[in-house]
Amino acid sequence: MQYYFDHAASTPVHPEAVQAMLDVYTSMTGNASSTHSFGRAARQLLNRSRDCIAAQIGSSAAELVFTSGGTESDNAAIAGAAYAMRNRGKRHIITTAVEHHAVLHTCEALEEEGFRLTILPVDEYGIVAPADVEAAIEPDTALISVIYVNNETGTIQPIAEIGEIARRRGVLFHVDAVQALGSMPIDLRTLPVDLMSFSAHKVNGPQGVGALYISRHTPFHPIIHGGSQERKRRAGTENLAGIAGFSKAVELSVKNMAARKLFLDELRLRWVECLQAMAQTSSIVVNGHPSQYVPNIINVSFIGVDTETMLMNLDLEGIAASSGSACTAGALEPSHVLHAMGLPAERLQSAVRFSFGLGNTMEEIEIAAKKIETILRRVRTTA
């Protein structure tokens, strides 16, 4: 039997999202930029999908740009805003040490182009202090970029407070909300955010499609050039089937958010109880904030068992988990997020991320926990 506990990397596609995509593949021929009837039908579907997603996040449809996923959305938001603000004499970017690499590497690439970069530290729970953000702002600060929900620990950042600071100081604010969408309410009518990134495959939609919110007054320089799609902000023929699946997935995830959270809270609590009861409390440490987190992501250190050994044994038992971000997990290097939190080596080198979602059950949790007990006993006996 297989146990998929790596939903933070990618989620199973919801059957209704699959059907929405199949409907496009089997009955939609036109390009949404064409003016004939086939193109108009494609454009109508594109507009309906955009309207649906915009309604779920409190934005206007005109503020939503479709992309190939979270990485492109992050790149476009940061580079697009930075280039636009450079024309106004602003070259300073602020971010944190616990961002996804799609943000950190983009910021570092811009630094090589002449922008100045400030990377702020976080506390032992992975939270950046709003006061530190404000203290880092300079007269030429163009952009602040902070992740909403950390993809490795599930920790929630104080986005509203940071956004108020950014707005008061006249600085653009980008939020990577890839792990927040569907896990917590997002209302861009009230959140002080200028740009926000999303990805379909984190909310039971297809891989290879995402979106970027760009508020109507935000200066933006496109990074992909070609046609006039997406109001000239992102050239290229839209992924119509993927967008239809994305739209349905967002609609379902927001509609079912309360019930899903209740179930995942129970699942997470039971998971921790099982692990601590079977592995001795002192040997299991949960990394991240004790209360400010989304319930579907939990990062656990199995003290005395290194991450690579644990993941290998989990895989042999049919349990899918991760050492951190799926974009870097193949390297099996210590997490830059946990390192930034200042965790001791014994926790840093034994951390495993479990993430839950569609299809997981309480029975799975209890069976998998027993398998982990067997793994720990075997590994510690032979160590």
Per-residue pLDDT of the chain (383 residues; tens, 9 = 90+): 899 999 999 999 999 999 999 999 999 999 999 999 999 999 999 999 999 999 999 999 999 999 999 999 999 999 999 999 999 999 999 999 999 999 999 999 999 999 999 999 999 999 999 999 999 999 999 999 999 999 999 999 999 999 999 999 999 999 999 999 999 999 999 999 999 999 999 999 999 999 999 999 999 999 999 999 999 999 999 999 999 999 999 999 999 999 999 999 999 999 999 998 876 656 899 999 999 999 999 999 999 999 999 999 999 999 999 987 555 445 567 899 999 999 999 999 999 999 999 999 999 999 999 999 999 988 877 65
Catalytic residue, chosen from 52, 107, 274, 327, is: 327
Listing DSSP states for 278-302 in one string gives HH-GGGEEEES-SSSB-TTEEEEEE
Look at phi and psi of residue 58 and say left if phi exceeds 0, alpha if psi is from -120 to 50, else beta. Answer: left
Position 374: which residue type?
Answer: T
pLDDT of residue 193: 98
pLDDT of residue 329: 46
Task: Label the pairing between strands 195-199 and 210-214.
Answer: antiparallel
Angle at 149 between CA 67 and CA 142, to 5 degrees: 65
pLDDT of residue 299: 98
pLDDT of residue 327: 55
Task: Label the pairing between strands 64-67 and 141-147.
Answer: unpaired
> Could you give the CA distance from residue 63 to residue 230 in angstroms, rounded to a whole number?
10
CATH architecture of 15-255: 3-Layer(aba) Sandwich (3.40)
- Is 52 catalytic? The answer is no
pLDDT of residue 341: 98
Asked if 137 contacts 320 with a C-beta cutoff of 8 angstroms, the reply is no
CA 120 to chain CA mean position, Å: 19
Please write the tens of the pLDDT for every residue from 107-165: 999 999 999 999 999 999 999 999 999 999 999 999 999 999 999 999 999 999 999 99
Domain ranges of the chain: 3-11+257-382, 15-255
Can you list the pairs that 41-47 forms with residues at least 24 positions away whose Cβ atoms lie under 8 Å?
A: 42/240, 45/240, 45/244, 46/238, 46/240, 46/243
- The upper half-sphere exposure of residue 295, i.e. CA atoms within 13 Å in the direction of its Cβ, equals 18
CATH of 3-11+257-382 among 3.90.1170.40, 3.90.1150.10, 3.40.50.300, 2.70.150.10: 3.90.1150.10
Asked if 356 contacts 202 with a C-beta cutoff of 8 angstroms, the reply is no
pLDDT of residue 333: 74
CB atoms within 10 A of CB 354: 26
Q: Where are the extended beta strands (E) located within the chain?
A: 3-4, 64-67, 92-96, 116-120, 141-147, 172-176, 195-199, 210-214, 284-287, 297-302, 319-320, 351-355
